[in-house]
Amino acid sequence: MSKRTASPRQLSSGSDRVFEGLILALAAVIVLVFVLSVYQLGTESWPALQKFGLNFFTSRVWNPVTGEFGAAAMIAGTLVTSLAALAISVPLAIASALFVAEYAPKWLANPVGYLIELLAAVPSVVYGLWALFVIAPILGRWQTNYFTSPENLQTLTRCTELWNSNQTSLECFFVPSSAAGRGLALAIIILTVMILPYTASVARDVIRLVPQDQREAMYALGATKWEVISRAILPYARAGIMGGVILALGRALGETLAVAMVIGDSQDILKSIWGNASTMASVISNQFGDAQEALHRSSVVTLGLSLFFLSVVVNYVARLIIARLTPKGIQ
């Protein structure tokens, strides 16, 4: 918007100003949505925040009957599921990106790349349905086998005692606690699948941006394909890949229904990776509709507010990293 007055474009400045105002007003709706969201979530979560203060985030008691609400269990559930899913999915995603960008011939690279992108288009409920009807029975069968085979009896008795006194050990953390198939482990499995395409497509784009010279210089030194990938391509692309990883983390933190359908909705302390648990998003979807008490409702909205700010921060960091990457000698 230059301040020059003699410009010939100023001839039609009247209609231009109206149009600019209109576009700006409509674009301002974006800001309005953001502000309204913060305001709405803020006012509704105020009663809970006022009552519990910071204890809300550190207390492990979530009891609608006694009116005590602390979110530590679901914060832990959110972090455990997201980080575990991230740890499994990142190597797979990078490998598939390398396949599409470096290994596959063109006739194969395009369809495979497209299939990976379609993974991101599958709705959350469909993932949940598949996990519930296909994977849960498989896990359940394995768990039943574990329970019925005699050699596990000792471990099971030991762990059950520990669990009953609300404790766990490293060994018992990996011992199944029920034969339902559902639980934290299934949530991690389905989250892994769901966030794969986000890391994979960013990684693929960044790997394609690595200059051809970089590869050729390495080949000229006599390197094998893997050496080119591990020493010339991945180091060059790592900042961008990191951006994709954080984007996937943002997705994992907010993923709701697929997780809510399979995680078992329990706010107890996590005693086994096979046991029931909950995440912040799964508690919102499972409890907000039934919450009758004002304080319960407000506490659930506080979870939403925390999730809101968490995803704002995570996405902002991801965008910063991706923006920084703009190919220029990355070190």
Partner 1 sequence: MSAATTPRSTRHQLSPARRAKNLVMGGLIVLATAIVVAPLILIFAYLIREGLGAMNLDFFTKVPAPEGETGGGLANAILGSIEMLAMASILGVLVGVSGGIFLAEYPRHPLMPSIRMISDVLAGIPAIVMGLVAYGLIVLQFGFSGLAGAVALGFLMIPIVVRTTEEVLKLVPQTVREAGLALGLPKWLVTLRIVLPAAAGGIVTGVMLALARVAGEAAPLLFTAFGNSQINLDPTKPMSALPLEIYRGATSAYDENQRLAKAGALLLITLIFLTSLLARRASRRK
Give 175 or 260: the residue with its C-beta nearer to partner 1: 260
Tokens of 198: 């986000």
Give 114 or 174: the residue with its C-beta nearer to partner 1: 114
State the residue for tokens 């648990």: 277
193 closest CA partner among 137, 148, 141, 135: 135
193 phi and psi, to 5 degrees?
A: -60, -40
**CA dihedral sign, ordered 280, 283, 289, 291:** negative
CB of 60 to partner 1, least distance (A): 23
86 closest CA partner among 235, 274, 205, 247: 247
Residues constituting the chain: 331
249 closest CA partner among 207, 196, 308: 196
CB of 248 to partner 1, least distance (A): 11
Give 40 or 63: the residue with its C-beta nearer to partner 1: 40
Give 49 or 132: the residue with its C-beta nearer to partner 1: 132
CB of 20 to partner 1, least distance (A): 7
CB of 127 to partner 1, least distance (A): 8
Give 90 or 162: the residue with its C-beta nearer to partner 1: 90
CB of 314 to partner 1, least distance (A): 7
Tokens of 55: 């204890």
Q: At what angle do helices 280-287 and 234-254 cross, to 10 degrees?
A: 20
CB of 106 to partner 1, least distance (A): 14
3-state secondary structure 265-314: CCCCCCCCCCCCCCCHHHHHHHHCCCCCCHHHHHHHHHHHHHHHHHHHHH
Distance CA 303, CA 78 (A): 11
- Contact between 75 and 282 under an 8 Å Cβ cutoff? The reply is no
Distance CA 141, CA 137 (A): 6
Please classify residue 272 by burial: count the beta carbons closer than 10 Å to its beta carbon, then call 0-12 exposed, 13-18 middle and 19+ buried: buried
Give 29 or 87: the residue with its C-beta nearer to partner 1: 29
CB of 224 to partner 1, least distance (A): 4
Give 92 or 156: the residue with its C-beta nearer to partner 1: 92
Give 159 or 228: the residue with its C-beta nearer to partner 1: 228
Give 163 or 198: the residue with its C-beta nearer to partner 1: 198
State the residue for tokens 């809510």: 260
CB of 229 to partner 1, least distance (A): 8
CB of 9 to partner 1, least distance (A): 7
One-character DSSP codes across 61-102: -EETTTTEE--HHHHHHHHHHHHHHHHHHHHHHHHHHHIIII
